[in-house]
Amino acid sequence: MWLLALLVQRTEQNKQDADLLKRIQRQDQQALALLYDRYAPVLYPLALRIVATGEEAEEILQEVFLQVWEKASIYTPDRGSVYSWIIAMCRNRAIDQLRSKGHKKKSRETGLEESHSVLHTATDSDPHDIVVMKGYAESVRAALKTLSRLEVKILELSYYEGYSQSEIAKMLKMPLGTVKTKMRKGIQKLRQVVGKDEV
Amino acid sequence: MTTKQEERHKYLDLCIPYAFGRLNPGNRKQFEAHLASGCKVCKAELARLNEALGLFPLTLKQERPDQRVKEQLLARIASAKRTPGPAQEQPRRALKKEAPVTMATGPVVTTQRPWFGYAIAGVALLIIVALGIYTNDLITTLDTQEQKIVALQTELAQRDEMLKILQSQRIEMVLMNGLEPSPSGYGKIIWDPVKKTAIFQVAQLPTVPEDKEYQLWVIRKGEKIPAGLFAVRSEQEKESYFKIMNLNVESKKDFEAFAVTLEPKGGSPQPTSPIYLLGTTSLN
Protein backbone atom coordinates (compact mmCIF):
# COMPACT_ATOMS: atom_id res chain seq x y z
CA MET A 1 0.00 0.00 0.00
CA TRP A 2 2.79 2.36 0.93
CA LEU A 3 4.57 1.73 -2.37
CA LEU A 4 1.28 2.24 -4.17
CA ALA A 5 0.81 5.60 -2.44
CA LEU A 6 4.32 6.58 -3.55
CA LEU A 7 3.54 5.60 -7.12
CA VAL A 8 0.31 7.60 -7.13
CA GLN A 9 2.18 10.59 -5.73
CA ARG A 10 4.90 10.17 -8.35
CA THR A 11 2.40 9.90 -11.18
CA GLU A 12 0.76 13.13 -10.07
CA GLN A 13 4.16 14.80 -9.84
CA ASN A 14 5.10 13.60 -13.36
CA LYS A 15 1.87 15.06 -14.68
CA GLN A 16 2.55 18.41 -13.03
CA ASP A 17 6.12 18.39 -14.40
CA ALA A 18 4.87 17.62 -17.90
CA ASP A 19 2.44 20.55 -17.64
CA LEU A 20 5.24 22.84 -16.49
CA LEU A 21 7.36 21.71 -19.42
CA LYS A 22 4.57 22.50 -21.86
CA ARG A 23 4.38 26.01 -20.39
CA ILE A 24 8.17 26.32 -20.67
CA GLN A 25 7.90 25.42 -24.35
CA ARG A 26 5.62 28.46 -24.63
CA GLN A 27 8.39 30.58 -23.03
CA ASP A 28 6.67 30.84 -19.64
CA GLN A 29 9.38 31.97 -17.21
CA GLN A 30 7.14 31.43 -14.21
CA ALA A 31 6.91 27.73 -15.11
CA LEU A 32 10.68 27.46 -15.25
CA ALA A 33 10.94 29.17 -11.86
CA LEU A 34 8.49 26.63 -10.42
CA LEU A 35 10.42 23.71 -11.88
CA TYR A 36 13.61 25.21 -10.49
CA ASP A 37 12.11 25.56 -7.00
CA ARG A 38 10.93 21.98 -7.15
CA TYR A 39 14.19 20.32 -8.11
CA ALA A 40 17.08 22.66 -7.32
CA PRO A 41 17.39 21.20 -3.78
CA VAL A 42 18.27 17.82 -5.35
CA LEU A 43 20.25 19.06 -8.34
CA TYR A 44 22.52 21.42 -6.44
CA PRO A 45 23.86 18.78 -4.00
CA LEU A 46 24.20 16.37 -6.94
CA ALA A 47 26.37 18.81 -8.87
CA LEU A 48 28.28 19.66 -5.70
CA ARG A 49 28.93 15.97 -5.03
CA ILE A 50 30.55 15.65 -8.46
CA VAL A 51 32.47 18.89 -8.94
CA ALA A 52 34.86 20.61 -6.59
CA THR A 53 33.26 23.91 -5.60
CA GLY A 54 29.94 25.54 -4.84
CA GLU A 55 30.54 28.09 -7.62
CA GLU A 56 30.89 25.33 -10.20
CA ALA A 57 27.79 23.57 -8.87
CA GLU A 58 25.80 26.82 -9.11
CA GLU A 59 26.98 27.36 -12.67
CA ILE A 60 26.00 23.80 -13.61
CA LEU A 61 22.58 24.30 -12.05
CA GLN A 62 22.02 27.42 -14.15
CA GLU A 63 23.28 25.69 -17.31
CA VAL A 64 20.90 22.80 -16.74
CA PHE A 65 17.86 25.06 -16.43
CA LEU A 66 19.00 27.10 -19.43
CA GLN A 67 19.09 23.82 -21.33
CA VAL A 68 15.60 22.98 -20.08
CA TRP A 69 14.47 26.41 -21.26
CA GLU A 70 16.00 25.96 -24.71
CA LYS A 71 15.34 22.26 -25.25
CA ALA A 72 12.00 21.70 -23.58
CA SER A 73 10.56 20.86 -26.99
CA ILE A 74 12.93 17.92 -27.56
CA TYR A 75 11.97 16.16 -24.33
CA THR A 76 10.22 12.86 -25.04
CA PRO A 77 8.32 11.06 -22.25
CA ASP A 78 9.23 7.64 -23.68
CA ARG A 79 12.80 8.13 -22.40
CA GLY A 80 11.67 8.74 -18.79
CA SER A 81 10.07 11.34 -16.58
CA VAL A 82 10.89 15.06 -16.61
CA TYR A 83 12.60 14.59 -13.25
CA SER A 84 14.90 11.83 -14.52
CA TRP A 85 15.61 13.85 -17.68
CA ILE A 86 16.73 16.87 -15.65
CA ILE A 87 18.72 14.76 -13.20
CA ALA A 88 20.53 13.05 -16.09
CA MET A 89 21.33 16.42 -17.68
CA CYS A 90 22.73 17.73 -14.41
CA ARG A 91 24.79 14.62 -13.74
CA ASN A 92 26.19 14.50 -17.29
CA ARG A 93 27.08 18.17 -17.29
CA ALA A 94 28.83 17.87 -13.93
CA ILE A 95 30.74 14.77 -15.08
CA ASP A 96 31.80 16.65 -18.25
CA GLN A 97 33.05 19.46 -16.04
CA LEU A 98 34.91 16.98 -13.87
CA ARG A 99 36.61 15.44 -16.87
CA SER A 100 37.42 18.71 -18.57
CA LYS A 101 39.19 20.12 -15.54
CA GLY A 102 41.11 16.98 -14.70
CA HIS A 103 39.40 16.63 -11.35
CA LYS A 104 39.02 12.96 -12.08
CA LYS A 105 42.70 12.35 -11.49
CA LYS A 106 42.45 13.94 -8.08
CA SER A 107 39.48 11.84 -7.10
CA ARG A 108 41.18 8.70 -8.40
CA GLU A 109 44.11 9.37 -6.12
CA THR A 110 42.09 10.03 -3.00
CA GLY A 111 38.53 8.86 -3.58
CA LEU A 112 39.05 5.17 -3.04
CA GLU A 113 40.52 5.60 0.36
CA GLU A 114 37.48 7.56 1.44
CA SER A 115 34.70 5.16 2.16
CA HIS A 116 32.32 7.70 3.62
CA SER A 117 29.46 6.52 1.53
CA VAL A 118 26.44 8.69 2.10
CA LEU A 119 24.35 5.60 2.09
CA HIS A 120 26.11 4.08 5.02
CA THR A 121 26.84 7.17 7.06
CA ALA A 122 23.71 9.19 6.43
CA THR A 123 21.45 9.37 9.40
CA ASP A 124 17.76 9.99 9.10
CA SER A 125 16.95 13.37 7.67
CA ASP A 126 16.40 16.30 9.94
CA PRO A 127 12.65 16.98 9.84
CA HIS A 128 13.44 20.61 9.09
CA ASP A 129 15.49 19.73 6.00
CA ILE A 130 14.04 20.33 2.56
CA VAL A 131 13.06 16.93 1.26
CA VAL A 132 12.04 16.63 -2.36
CA MET A 133 10.30 13.31 -3.03
CA LYS A 134 10.57 12.45 0.65
CA GLY A 135 9.02 8.99 0.44
CA TYR A 136 11.40 7.98 -2.33
CA ALA A 137 14.44 9.43 -0.56
CA GLU A 138 13.73 7.26 2.49
CA SER A 139 13.01 4.10 0.56
CA VAL A 140 16.08 4.53 -1.66
CA ARG A 141 18.26 4.88 1.44
CA ALA A 142 16.65 1.84 3.01
CA ALA A 143 17.00 -0.22 -0.17
CA LEU A 144 20.62 0.68 -0.73
CA LYS A 145 21.53 -0.05 2.86
CA THR A 146 20.92 -3.71 2.03
CA LEU A 147 23.80 -3.57 -0.46
CA SER A 148 27.39 -4.27 0.56
CA ARG A 149 29.80 -1.37 0.93
CA LEU A 150 31.59 -2.54 -2.21
CA GLU A 151 28.40 -2.60 -4.25
CA VAL A 152 27.54 0.94 -3.16
CA LYS A 153 31.08 2.06 -3.89
CA ILE A 154 30.88 0.69 -7.44
CA LEU A 155 27.62 2.59 -8.00
CA GLU A 156 29.12 5.77 -6.59
CA LEU A 157 32.32 5.47 -8.65
CA SER A 158 30.24 5.10 -11.76
CA TYR A 159 27.53 7.65 -11.02
CA TYR A 160 29.42 10.38 -9.18
CA GLU A 161 32.95 9.90 -10.51
CA GLY A 162 32.10 8.92 -14.07
CA TYR A 163 34.27 5.82 -14.22
CA SER A 164 33.49 3.09 -16.73
CA GLN A 165 32.93 -0.47 -15.59
CA SER A 166 36.30 -1.56 -16.96
CA GLU A 167 38.06 1.33 -15.20
CA ILE A 168 36.38 0.34 -11.94
CA ALA A 169 37.38 -3.29 -12.44
CA LYS A 170 40.97 -2.18 -12.89
CA MET A 171 40.91 0.12 -9.87
CA LEU A 172 39.33 -2.43 -7.57
CA LYS A 173 41.36 -5.27 -9.06
CA MET A 174 38.39 -7.48 -9.76
CA PRO A 175 36.94 -9.12 -12.86
CA LEU A 176 34.87 -6.92 -15.13
CA GLY A 177 32.04 -9.44 -14.86
CA THR A 178 31.97 -9.05 -11.08
CA VAL A 179 31.78 -5.26 -11.39
CA LYS A 180 28.93 -5.58 -13.88
CA THR A 181 27.07 -7.99 -11.61
CA LYS A 182 27.46 -5.79 -8.55
CA MET A 183 26.42 -2.70 -10.49
CA ARG A 184 23.36 -4.49 -11.84
CA LYS A 185 22.45 -5.51 -8.29
CA GLY A 186 22.65 -1.88 -7.17
CA ILE A 187 20.55 -0.70 -10.10
CA GLN A 188 18.07 -3.47 -9.43
CA LYS A 189 17.62 -2.18 -5.88
CA LEU A 190 16.86 1.28 -7.25
CA ARG A 191 14.47 -0.24 -9.77
CA GLN A 192 12.61 -2.00 -7.01
CA VAL A 193 12.00 1.38 -5.41
CA VAL A 194 10.65 2.72 -8.69
CA GLY A 195 8.34 -0.29 -8.58
CA LYS A 196 8.76 -1.25 -12.18
CA ASP A 197 11.38 -3.90 -11.88
CA GLU A 198 10.50 -7.05 -13.60
CA VAL A 199 13.49 -9.12 -12.40
CA MET B 1 19.28 -17.69 -31.14
CA THR B 2 18.54 -15.73 -34.28
CA THR B 3 20.75 -12.93 -35.51
CA LYS B 4 17.97 -10.44 -34.78
CA GLN B 5 17.71 -11.61 -31.17
CA GLU B 6 21.48 -11.41 -30.77
CA GLU B 7 21.40 -7.85 -32.09
CA ARG B 8 18.70 -6.88 -29.62
CA HIS B 9 20.57 -8.53 -26.78
CA LYS B 10 23.71 -6.64 -27.73
CA TYR B 11 21.86 -3.33 -27.63
CA LEU B 12 20.25 -4.11 -24.28
CA ASP B 13 23.74 -4.63 -22.87
CA LEU B 14 24.62 -1.12 -24.02
CA CYS B 15 21.78 0.48 -22.04
CA ILE B 16 23.66 0.70 -18.73
CA PRO B 17 26.90 2.21 -20.11
CA TYR B 18 24.78 4.57 -22.25
CA ALA B 19 22.75 5.71 -19.24
CA PHE B 20 26.02 6.35 -17.39
CA GLY B 21 27.39 8.27 -20.40
CA ARG B 22 30.23 5.79 -20.82
CA LEU B 23 29.77 4.47 -24.34
CA ASN B 24 32.60 5.23 -26.75
CA PRO B 25 31.68 7.50 -29.68
CA GLY B 26 31.28 4.62 -32.13
CA ASN B 27 29.00 2.56 -29.93
CA ARG B 28 27.07 5.65 -28.83
CA LYS B 29 26.40 6.63 -32.42
CA GLN B 30 25.30 3.10 -33.23
CA PHE B 31 23.09 2.86 -30.12
CA GLU B 32 21.46 6.23 -30.75
CA ALA B 33 20.75 5.19 -34.33
CA HIS B 34 19.19 2.03 -32.95
CA LEU B 35 17.02 4.08 -30.57
CA ALA B 36 16.08 6.41 -33.40
CA SER B 37 15.05 3.37 -35.44
CA GLY B 38 12.27 2.99 -32.86
CA CYS B 39 13.32 -0.02 -30.75
CA LYS B 40 10.67 -0.02 -28.04
CA VAL B 41 12.51 -2.59 -25.92
CA CYS B 42 15.66 -0.50 -25.59
CA LYS B 43 13.69 2.73 -25.13
CA ALA B 44 11.68 1.18 -22.33
CA GLU B 45 14.79 -0.29 -20.72
CA LEU B 46 16.53 3.07 -20.92
CA ALA B 47 13.53 4.86 -19.44
CA ARG B 48 13.47 2.40 -16.53
CA LEU B 49 17.21 2.82 -16.02
CA ASN B 50 16.92 6.61 -16.07
CA GLU B 51 14.08 6.49 -13.57
CA ALA B 52 16.07 4.22 -11.28
CA LEU B 53 19.32 6.19 -11.55
CA GLY B 54 17.40 9.43 -11.03
CA LEU B 55 16.60 8.25 -7.53
CA PHE B 56 20.24 7.78 -6.56
CA PRO B 57 20.91 11.49 -5.77
CA LEU B 58 17.96 11.48 -3.38
CA THR B 59 20.31 9.90 -0.85
CA LEU B 60 22.31 13.15 -0.72
CA LYS B 61 21.43 15.75 1.87
CA GLN B 62 19.18 18.19 0.06
CA GLU B 63 20.17 21.83 0.00
CA ARG B 64 18.59 24.82 -1.65
CA PRO B 65 21.18 26.98 -3.44
CA ASP B 66 21.48 30.69 -2.74
CA GLN B 67 18.53 32.77 -4.01
CA ARG B 68 21.03 34.72 -6.14
CA VAL B 69 21.46 31.64 -8.41
CA LYS B 70 17.79 31.63 -9.32
CA GLU B 71 17.80 35.40 -9.91
CA GLN B 72 20.82 35.11 -12.21
CA LEU B 73 19.19 32.24 -14.09
CA LEU B 74 16.00 34.19 -14.70
CA ALA B 75 18.05 37.20 -15.79
CA ARG B 76 19.98 35.04 -18.26
CA ILE B 77 16.73 33.69 -19.68
CA ALA B 78 15.30 37.19 -20.01
CA SER B 79 18.38 38.39 -21.88
CA ALA B 80 18.38 35.29 -24.11
CA LYS B 81 14.77 36.02 -24.99
CA ARG B 82 15.68 39.52 -26.13
CA THR B 83 18.50 38.32 -28.40
CA PRO B 84 17.39 38.57 -32.03
CA GLY B 85 17.29 35.21 -33.71
CA PRO B 86 18.13 35.14 -37.43
CA ALA B 87 21.61 36.48 -38.05
CA GLN B 88 22.57 34.01 -40.74
CA GLU B 89 21.44 36.18 -43.66
CA GLN B 90 24.27 38.71 -43.28
CA PRO B 91 27.18 36.60 -44.62
CA ARG B 92 25.21 35.84 -47.79
CA ARG B 93 24.72 39.54 -48.43
CA ALA B 94 28.44 40.19 -47.87
CA LEU B 95 29.32 37.56 -50.48
CA LYS B 96 27.23 39.33 -53.07
CA LYS B 97 28.92 42.64 -52.36
CA GLU B 98 32.39 41.13 -52.71
CA ALA B 99 31.76 39.70 -56.18
CA PRO B 100 34.86 40.44 -58.31
CA VAL B 101 34.55 43.00 -61.00
CA THR B 102 35.67 41.81 -64.44
CA MET B 103 36.10 43.49 -67.76
CA ALA B 104 33.15 41.56 -69.16
CA THR B 105 29.70 42.96 -69.27
CA GLY B 106 27.27 42.52 -66.40
CA PRO B 107 25.22 39.51 -67.51
CA VAL B 108 28.32 37.38 -68.28
CA VAL B 109 29.73 37.94 -64.79
CA THR B 110 26.52 36.80 -63.14
CA THR B 111 26.49 33.52 -65.13
CA GLN B 112 30.17 32.66 -64.39
CA ARG B 113 30.13 33.32 -60.62
CA PRO B 114 27.60 30.66 -59.62
CA TRP B 115 29.42 27.99 -61.66
CA PHE B 116 32.72 28.75 -59.92
CA GLY B 117 30.98 28.80 -56.56
CA TYR B 118 29.27 25.48 -57.22
CA ALA B 119 32.58 23.91 -58.26
CA ILE B 120 34.27 25.08 -55.03
CA ALA B 121 31.28 23.93 -53.00
CA GLY B 122 31.32 20.56 -54.79
CA VAL B 123 35.02 20.00 -54.09
CA ALA B 124 34.51 21.06 -50.47
CA LEU B 125 31.60 18.66 -50.16
CA LEU B 126 33.67 15.80 -51.59
CA ILE B 127 36.46 16.55 -49.13
CA ILE B 128 33.97 16.66 -46.24
CA VAL B 129 32.39 13.36 -47.30
CA ALA B 130 35.83 11.72 -47.68
CA LEU B 131 36.91 13.03 -44.28
CA GLY B 132 33.65 11.83 -42.79
CA ILE B 133 34.17 8.32 -44.17
CA TYR B 134 37.77 8.31 -42.98
CA THR B 135 36.77 9.50 -39.49
CA ASN B 136 34.01 6.94 -39.32
CA ASP B 137 36.49 4.20 -40.24
CA LEU B 138 38.86 5.43 -37.55
CA ILE B 139 36.08 5.43 -34.96
CA THR B 140 35.08 1.90 -35.98
CA THR B 141 38.70 0.72 -35.74
CA LEU B 142 39.11 2.36 -32.33
CA ASP B 143 35.86 0.85 -31.22
CA THR B 144 36.96 -2.63 -32.28
CA GLN B 145 40.35 -2.20 -30.62
CA GLU B 146 38.74 -0.98 -27.42
CA GLN B 147 36.39 -3.96 -27.36
CA LYS B 148 39.35 -6.30 -27.89
CA ILE B 149 41.26 -4.65 -25.03
CA VAL B 150 38.29 -4.91 -22.68
CA ALA B 151 37.79 -8.56 -23.68
CA LEU B 152 41.48 -9.32 -23.06
CA GLN B 153 41.44 -7.48 -19.74
CA THR B 154 38.39 -9.45 -18.68
CA GLU B 155 39.97 -12.71 -19.75
CA LEU B 156 43.16 -11.87 -17.88
CA ALA B 157 41.24 -10.94 -14.74
CA GLN B 158 39.27 -14.18 -14.98
CA ARG B 159 42.45 -16.20 -15.37
CA ASP B 160 43.89 -14.47 -12.30
CA GLU B 161 40.78 -15.38 -10.36
CA MET B 162 40.97 -18.97 -11.62
CA LEU B 163 44.60 -19.20 -10.57
CA LYS B 164 43.75 -17.86 -7.12
CA ILE B 165 41.11 -20.55 -6.66
CA LEU B 166 43.38 -23.31 -7.95
CA GLN B 167 46.17 -22.15 -5.63
CA SER B 168 43.93 -22.32 -2.58
CA GLN B 169 45.06 -24.63 0.18
CA ARG B 170 41.80 -26.56 -0.03
CA ILE B 171 39.65 -27.01 -3.12
CA GLU B 172 36.69 -29.22 -3.87
CA MET B 173 35.36 -30.39 -7.23
CA VAL B 174 32.13 -31.85 -8.54
CA LEU B 175 31.65 -33.09 -12.12
CA MET B 176 28.22 -32.71 -13.71
CA ASN B 177 26.72 -34.87 -16.45
CA GLY B 178 23.95 -34.14 -18.95
CA LEU B 179 20.49 -35.56 -18.39
CA GLU B 180 17.57 -36.01 -20.79
CA PRO B 181 17.09 -32.45 -22.15
CA SER B 182 20.81 -32.22 -22.86
CA PRO B 183 22.46 -35.66 -22.73
CA SER B 184 25.71 -34.47 -24.33
CA GLY B 185 26.14 -31.62 -21.84
CA TYR B 186 28.72 -31.71 -19.09
CA GLY B 187 30.35 -29.38 -16.59
CA LYS B 188 32.40 -29.01 -13.49
CA ILE B 189 32.56 -26.82 -10.42
CA ILE B 190 35.84 -26.29 -8.60
CA TRP B 191 35.56 -24.19 -5.49
CA ASP B 192 37.45 -22.82 -2.54
CA PRO B 193 35.25 -23.66 0.44
CA VAL B 194 36.98 -21.06 2.62
CA LYS B 195 36.73 -18.05 0.31
CA LYS B 196 33.55 -19.43 -1.27
CA THR B 197 34.60 -18.61 -4.81
CA ALA B 198 34.23 -21.08 -7.65
CA ILE B 199 35.26 -21.85 -11.21
CA PHE B 200 32.12 -22.89 -13.00
CA GLN B 201 32.43 -24.52 -16.42
CA VAL B 202 29.85 -26.13 -18.68
CA ALA B 203 29.85 -27.32 -22.28
CA GLN B 204 27.41 -28.61 -24.89
CA LEU B 205 24.37 -27.00 -23.28
CA PRO B 206 21.83 -25.66 -25.81
CA THR B 207 21.95 -21.91 -26.43
CA VAL B 208 19.08 -20.11 -24.69
CA PRO B 209 16.69 -17.38 -25.89
CA GLU B 210 16.93 -13.92 -24.40
CA ASP B 211 14.10 -14.43 -21.94
CA LYS B 212 15.68 -17.54 -20.41
CA GLU B 213 18.70 -18.31 -18.27
CA TYR B 214 20.20 -21.43 -16.81
CA GLN B 215 20.03 -21.62 -13.04
CA LEU B 216 22.43 -23.52 -10.81
CA TRP B 217 21.00 -25.21 -7.73
CA VAL B 218 22.57 -26.70 -4.64
CA ILE B 219 20.52 -29.66 -3.45
CA ARG B 220 20.80 -29.94 0.31
CA LYS B 221 18.65 -32.42 2.26
CA GLY B 222 16.32 -32.56 -0.74
CA GLU B 223 15.87 -28.79 -0.75
CA LYS B 224 16.83 -26.95 -3.94
CA ILE B 225 18.69 -23.72 -3.17
CA PRO B 226 19.38 -21.18 -5.99
CA ALA B 227 23.14 -20.75 -6.46
CA GLY B 228 23.52 -18.56 -9.54
CA LEU B 229 22.43 -17.78 -13.09
CA PHE B 230 24.17 -17.98 -16.43
CA ALA B 231 23.23 -17.93 -20.09
CA VAL B 232 24.74 -19.70 -23.06
CA ARG B 233 24.02 -17.25 -25.84
CA SER B 234 26.43 -18.12 -28.66
CA GLU B 235 27.89 -21.13 -30.40
CA GLN B 236 31.26 -20.23 -28.89
CA GLU B 237 29.76 -20.30 -25.39
CA LYS B 238 28.07 -23.57 -26.25
CA GLU B 239 31.50 -25.07 -26.95
CA SER B 240 32.65 -24.03 -23.51
CA TYR B 241 31.23 -21.54 -21.05
CA PHE B 242 32.89 -20.64 -17.82
CA LYS B 243 32.64 -18.02 -15.13
CA ILE B 244 34.07 -17.18 -11.76
CA MET B 245 31.33 -17.00 -9.21
CA ASN B 246 30.60 -16.79 -5.52
CA LEU B 247 29.41 -20.12 -4.18
CA ASN B 248 28.08 -20.37 -0.68
CA VAL B 249 28.88 -24.01 0.00
CA GLU B 250 31.56 -25.58 2.14
CA SER B 251 32.44 -29.24 2.03
CA LYS B 252 30.89 -31.77 -0.36
CA LYS B 253 29.65 -33.57 2.75
CA ASP B 254 27.23 -30.73 3.44
CA PHE B 255 25.01 -31.28 0.40
CA GLU B 256 23.97 -33.93 -2.07
CA ALA B 257 24.26 -32.43 -5.54
CA PHE B 258 24.53 -29.54 -7.96
CA ALA B 259 21.86 -29.27 -10.65
CA VAL B 260 21.28 -26.97 -13.62
CA THR B 261 17.80 -26.16 -14.97
CA LEU B 262 16.45 -23.74 -17.56
CA GLU B 263 14.42 -20.92 -16.03
CA PRO B 264 12.85 -17.59 -17.02
CA LYS B 265 15.37 -14.73 -17.11
CA GLY B 266 16.19 -13.63 -13.57
CA GLY B 267 15.75 -17.13 -12.16
CA SER B 268 13.05 -18.90 -10.21
CA PRO B 269 12.67 -19.58 -6.50
CA GLN B 270 12.23 -23.28 -7.34
CA PRO B 271 13.08 -25.23 -10.53
CA THR B 272 10.43 -25.12 -13.24
CA SER B 273 12.15 -27.27 -15.87
CA PRO B 274 13.75 -30.72 -16.02
CA ILE B 275 17.36 -30.99 -14.89
CA TYR B 276 19.86 -30.39 -17.68
CA LEU B 277 23.02 -31.14 -15.70
CA LEU B 278 23.44 -33.06 -12.47
CA GLY B 279 26.53 -33.60 -10.33
CA THR B 280 26.11 -35.67 -7.20
CA THR B 281 28.68 -35.31 -4.46
CA SER B 282 28.58 -39.02 -3.62
CA LEU B 283 29.92 -39.91 -7.08
CA ASN B 284 32.66 -37.27 -7.06
The residues, any chain, with a CB within 8 Å of residue A100's CB and separated by 6 or more, are none
The residue in chain A having the minimum alpha-carbon distance to the alpha carbon of residue B76 is A66
CB A101 within 8 A of CB A127: no
What pLDDT score does A5 carry? 66
Between chain A and chain B, the number of residue pairs with CB atoms below 8 A apart is 183
Kindly provide the ipTM of the predicted complex, given to two decimals. 0.83
Residues facing residue B48 across a β-bridge: none
**What pLDDT digit, counting tens, does each position of B19-77 carry?**
888 888 888 888 888 888 888 888 888 888 888 899 889 889 888 999 999 999 998 88
B52 reaches A (C-beta below 8 A): yes
Q: Does the beta-carbon distance from A122 to B61 stay under 8 Å?
A: yes
How far apart, in whole angstroms, are the C-alpha atoms of residue A165 and residue A175?
10
Sign of the CA dihedral running B134, B137, B141, B143? positive
Report the residue from A42, A164, A184 with minimal CB separation from B17. Answer: A164
B170 reaches A (C-beta below 8 A): no
Overall pTM surpassing 0.95 (yes/no):
no
Q: How many CA atoms lie within 13 A of A35 on its CB side?
A: 34
Instruction: Find the mean pLDDT for residues A24-52.
Output: 93
**What pLDDT digit, counting tens, does each position of A143-167 carry?**
888 888 888 999 999 999 999 888 9
What's the gap in Å between the CA of B56 and the closest CA on chain A?
7
Residues of B in Cβ contact (< 8 Å) with A68: none
The residues, any chain, with a CB within 8 Å of residue B40's CB and separated by 6 or more, are none
Residues of B in Cβ contact (< 8 Å) with A158: 20, 22
Q: Does the beta-carbon distance from A187 to B16 stay under 8 Å?
A: yes
Sign of the CA dihedral running A9, A126, A33, A55? negative
What pLDDT score does B9 carry? 61
What is the pLDDT confidence band of residue B247, given thresholds at 50, 70 and 90? Answer: confident
Q: Does the beta-carbon distance from B57 to A29 stay under 8 Å?
A: no
How far apart, in whole angstroms, are the C-alpha atoms of residue A124 and residue B56?
16
pLDDT at A122 over 70: no
Residues of B in Cβ contact (< 8 Å) with A58: 65-66, 69
What pLDDT score does B151 carry? 64
Strand order in the sheet with B275-280: B223-230, B212-220, B257-264, B275-280, B172-178, B186-192, B197-203, B241-246
**What pLDDT digit, counting tens, does each position of A50-83 carry?**
997 899 999 999 999 999 999 898 888 877 899 9
Q: Does the beta-carbon distance from A80 to B51 stay under 8 Å?
A: yes
